[in-house]
A and B are shown apart, each in its own frame.
Chain A
């Protein structure tokens, strides 16, 4: 992964920075330049709350090459308290105890590492509460 491609997503991956439409209040993660609802172009920067619930989940057993050393790992779609949905790994969990609707919180974690000389890629994962 090139440095610019990694660096420009850091506000979202490290701090869950989102854009809140100043006109209609809709929240976008990642931020956008135009609201798909009211078409306003004015946004307020907010940090998403780090709590939510699991809407669905799976356990990845055949992974992309940069994730092979982590298999098997759980992933899910999380609805955060503000209503924004994100996709992330579900870390520190017992696969058999995963359940739709279970409360989770978002933590800052290492996502993967690109070989010995590559970038260590960080971001968010969720963990059961």
Chain B
């Protein structure tokens, strides 16, 4: 396998982009990435997208988007794994470059979620759960994570306030990200007083509905060293694992095993331990998710995710800052784009381009992207060379 580097990143402001189409938001991000990389062509591309069919009635995105990007006949592939589509697209592009099949590969992610009503978006998202044995019964995604939260609170004593602290922290980080959908700082009291969605989760425990796209350019490390004018970020570990998509079929409702397994594969490939990670972007679709994920990644012991978050371990300035971009919570969660945007934040941090939210001396970063209630997880580890 060849070594693979990220040589370009591109992303525009996320939000409710009613005046823009899916093809336009994708093309904008892809062009920014191509410009940032300083390349004049791409050999192939992958697009992470969960459900353009349900959100904008459009499938066959791979050809549509390569055409509108002006890249005509290149091979283009759409990748779907619910909310982990972007992370999986990155892994697929990584494998293609590592294999030697192609050199310059664009990995993008996109979701256009506001062309449908909130009920329509809720339905589209619910297709990431088991339609016949979860959704049929009346469950929602906040509901599934609420079931995990309740189990975590019972088993480990995780408090309602500790959940809220995840949201407060990520909005604090997001307030320093000009591309975030909701860059407002929020207080513990605001989270604890916000509208209840599925007990114990309130609206400010949930990530929003977002239109957005993100793109990165991958190249073999040798070529990257010749053509790149910027610090080069190498992908040193890539892990992917699946689990039952039905939450109730899992042995322990407080653990995200797909993330644990994907992380182990990525750590082993990278030759790194959790203590050697300087910062991480993780899948905080709900506040409880970030707590379970930092436990699954080995940043904290099982059951300590809540207290360690409260003590500032994962806040900018703490031992391992998590979601300096604002995370899904503040930056937004256009599902197919999320995994790619996580890689953009890590790349910017490792290049020293993160501005006000820069993590000092950041050399090794990790991304964790997951689908549904943890039915799929993708973990990448990156290092600046």
Q: Which residues of A line the B interface, CB within 8 A? A: 9, 13, 30, 55-65, 67, 70, 73, 75-77, 85-89, 95, 100, 111-112, 121, 123
Contact = CB atoms under 8 A, between A and B. Distances in A.
A38 to B, nearest CB: 17
Nearest to A95: B199
A111 B199 contact: no
Nearest to A68: B119
A9 B198 CA distance: 27
B138 A58 contact: no
Question: Top 3 closest A-B pairs, CB basis?
Answer: A58-B146, A56-B151, A59-B199
A85 B137 CA distance: 14
Nearest to B244: A36
B132 interface: yes
Interface stretch (B97-105, B246-254, B375-383): B246-254
A85 B123 contact: no
A105 to B, nearest CB: 16
Most buried by B among A57, A77, A95: A77
Contacts of B156: none
Interface in B94-151: 119, 122-123, 126, 132-140, 142-143, 146-148, 150-151
Given A87-B137, A121-B136, A123-B137, A62 B151 contact: no
Contact of B248 (A60, A86, A95, A121): A86
Given A87-B133, A100-B151, 11 more contacts: A30-B133, A56-B147, A58-B143, A58-B146, A60-B139, A63-B138, A87-B246, A89-B137, A100-B154, A112-B138, A121-B136
A60 B201 CA distance: 10
21 contacts: A9-B136, A56-B150, A56-B151, A58-B198, A61-B195, A61-B198, A61-B199, A62-B140, A63-B138, A64-B119, A70-B138, A76-B147, A87-B134, A87-B139, A87-B247, A88-B137, A89-B137, A95-B199, A100-B151, A112-B138, A123-B137
Given A64-B123, A77-B248, A77-B253, A111 B150 contact: no
A47 B163 CA distance: 40
B196 interface: yes
Contact of A86 (B123, B133, B150, B201): B133
B197 interface: yes
Contacts of A13: 136
A85 B188 CA distance: 35
Contacts of A121: 136
A55 B143 contact: no
Contacts of B138: 60, 63-64, 67, 70, 73, 75, 89, 111-112
A6 B150 CA distance: 31
A77 B248 CA distance: 6
B147 A63 contact: no
Given A56-B253, A70-B138, A77-B147, A62 B198 contact: yes
B119 A65 contact: yes
A17 to B, nearest CB: 13
Most buried by A among B136, B143, B200: B136
A64 B122 contact: yes
A49 B208 CA distance: 40
A75 B139 contact: yes
B151 A75 contact: no
A30 B131 CA distance: 13
Contacts of A111: 136-138
Given A60-B138, A61-B199, A64-B135, A75 B248 contact: no
A60 B111 CA distance: 26
Interface in B309-339: none
B136 to A, nearest CB: 7
B191 to A, nearest CB: 16
Contacts of A73: 138
Nearest to B146: A58
Contacts of B246: 87
Nearest to B200: A58
Given A62-B197, A100-B154, A123 B143 contact: no
Contact of A62 (B134, B142, B148, B253): B142
A60 B247 contact: no
Contacts of B147: 56-58, 75-77, 87
